[in-house]
């Protein structure tokens, strides 16, 4: 039986011949439509119904087992929609324990940076593009500017910055991988916070790598968030390759403009669960350390509702002192903890964004958000050790260091906002007297 295309060509050819013929040939008989096989139709329908049932059952089962404990869109939605699990699985699979730790940590922060940037870009793309005075991006969803740079004194980095987004007014996800010589004065300054650092009268080789994130959302009901995880090591000045001291440090904290208790509980409980997988002593110690570190003495208040913070974490740290005959964790085990806790960032924060990003706000709420950002700036420029160390480091990339600052902030003389009994006052009560959220 000729195909439909062939049949059409045959009919066209006959029509042309009829113009020059004395008689018109009879038209070809119509093609008899093929009837579908009832057995095949039933099998296809059964397969489709079964597939829908399996997928629906799987989705509902996973949704019920999701760890999200707040209202709004569950974390599963992000995973299913954008196909990116919370942990960068490819980086975990490619990690080679035979490599030096400096290479392994550098590879980890690179992968985590890309993983988080893609997730944040997906959130931007999922938000309504309708223009408004609060969300100027009305065309294509904004993407991060990826700025790779080299440090003349040794090393490299990548600063990924988004400005004017639909969800994030300013967002920075930076990594640095630097090396050089630490002078005696720098060694002395660092020993105040790092007891494991040896002291030499000559410059010593150092290596440092880390990931730093600060997200300033547009909506006052979505909290600002900060993350930093890093690795540092120094070598013997006369024996290249011999590591004299090493440590991990980092943390993550939440800075809301308006207190939503279930959001604070979700953020803290997610980080606590990640800590407890490795050492149940970590969370209470690192949570208290965070409350102490992010305190603004001249304001007598905390920067936000906290999270966790740790530094100088090595096998000989006080928190790893042997108990009941147990051995301290190895370098490998501490690195595993850093991977777990850094991977907990997205499930701790993204559900809060999805829950609150579509809420409306008033001019007064925006005003309060900008006042709280002013406090954020005060802490970072006056007290933050990382900012101060970066600004004092020769060859430092100032634009990347100051990435943490918001584009817009506000200071008022003797502002009346934050009074007791107001929504703003509820936040101030917690900032002056930190609470346990998990």
SS3 157: strand
The number of beta carbons lying within 10 Å of the beta carbon of residue 421 is: 7
Catalytic residue (one of 115, 216, 221, 226): 226
Known catalytic residue at 278: no
Helix or strand run (H / E) with residue 158: strand 155-163
Question: Per residue in 99-117, is it b (16+ CB within 10 Å) or e — as a string?
Answer: eebbebbbbbbbbbbbbbb
* Cα distances (angstroms) measured from residue 393 to each of 116, 178, 232, 389: 27, 11, 15, 6
Q: Using DSSP bridges, classify how beta strands 155-163 and 239-255 pair: parallel, antiparallel or unpaired.
A: unpaired
Q: Pick from 308, 192, 336, 172: which is nearest to 250 by CA?
A: 308
SS3 136: coil
Tokens of 385: 């050790």
* Cα distances (angstroms) measured from residue 188 to each of 117, 182, 194, 197, 384: 36, 10, 10, 9, 18
Query: Which phi and psi (to 5°) does residue 100 adopt?
Result: -60, 150
Rounded distance between C-alpha atoms, residue 419 and residue 411, angstroms? 16
CA angle at 171 for the pair 168 and 177, rounded to the nearest 5°: 160
Torsion (CA) 427, 428, 433, 438 in degrees, nearest 10: 10
Helix or strand run (H / E) with residue 270: helix 261-276
Contact by Cβ (8 Å): 157, 276: no
Helix axes 75-82, 38-64, angle to 10 degrees: 140
Rounded distance between C-alpha atoms, residue 385 and residue 362, angstroms? 35
The number of beta carbons lying within 10 Å of the beta carbon of residue 407 is: 10
Residues taking part in catalysis: 226
């Amino acid at each position: 039986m000729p195909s439909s295309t062939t049949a059409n060509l045959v009919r066209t050819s006959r029509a042309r011949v009829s113009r020059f013929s004395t008689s018109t040939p009879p038209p070809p008989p119509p093609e008899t439509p093929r009837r579908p096989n009832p057995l095949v139709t039933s099998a296809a329908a059964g397969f489709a119904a079964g597939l829908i049932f399996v997928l629906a059952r799987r989705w509902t089962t996973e949704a019920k087992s999701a760890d999200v404990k707040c209202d709004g869109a569950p974390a599963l939605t992000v995973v299913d929609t954008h196909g990116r699990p919370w942990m960068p699985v490819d980086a975990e699979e490619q990690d080679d324990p035979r490599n030096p730790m400096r290479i392994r940590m550098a590879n980890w922060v690179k992968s985590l940076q890309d993983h988080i940037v893609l997730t944040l870009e997906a959130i931007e793309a999922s938000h309504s593009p309708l223009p408004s005075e609060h969300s100027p991006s009305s065309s294509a969803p904004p993407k991060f500017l990826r700025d790779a740079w080299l440090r003349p004194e040794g090393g490299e980095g990548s600063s990924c910055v988004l400005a004017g987004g639909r969800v994030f007014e300013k967002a920075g996800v930076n990594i640095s991988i630097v090396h050089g010589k630490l002078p005696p004065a720098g060694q002395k300054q660092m020993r105040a916070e790092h007891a494991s650092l040896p002291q030499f009268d000559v410059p010593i080789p150092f290596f440092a790598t880390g990931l730093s994130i600060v997200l300033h959302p547009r909506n006052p009901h979505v909290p600002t968030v900060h993350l930093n995880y890093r690795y540092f090591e120094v070598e013997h000045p006369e024996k290249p390759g011999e590591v004299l001291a090493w440590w991990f440090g980092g943390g993550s904290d939440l800075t809301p403009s308006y207190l939503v208790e279930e959001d604070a509980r979700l953020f803290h409980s997610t980080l606590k669960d990640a800590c407890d997988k490795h050492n149940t002593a970590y969370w209470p110690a690192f949570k208290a350390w965070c409350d102490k570190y992010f305190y603004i003495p001249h304001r007598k208040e905390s920067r936000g509702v906290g999270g966790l913070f740790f530094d100088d974490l090595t096998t000989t740290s006080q928190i790893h002192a042997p108990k009941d005959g147990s051995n301290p964790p190895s370098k490998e085990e501490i690195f595993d903890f850093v991977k777990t806790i850094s991977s907990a960032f997205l499930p701790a924060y993204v559900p809060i964004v999805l829950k609150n990003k579509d809420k409306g706000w008033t001019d007064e709420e925006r005003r309060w958000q900008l006042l709280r950002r002013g406090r954020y700036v005060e802490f970072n420029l006056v007290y933050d050790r990382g900012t101060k160390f970066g600004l004092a480091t020769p060859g430092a990339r100032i634009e990347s260091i100051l990435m943490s600052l918001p584009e817009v902030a506000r200071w008022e003389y003797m502002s009346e906002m934050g009074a007791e009994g107001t929504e703003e006052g509820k936040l101030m009560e917690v900032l002056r007297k930190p609470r346990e959220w998990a």
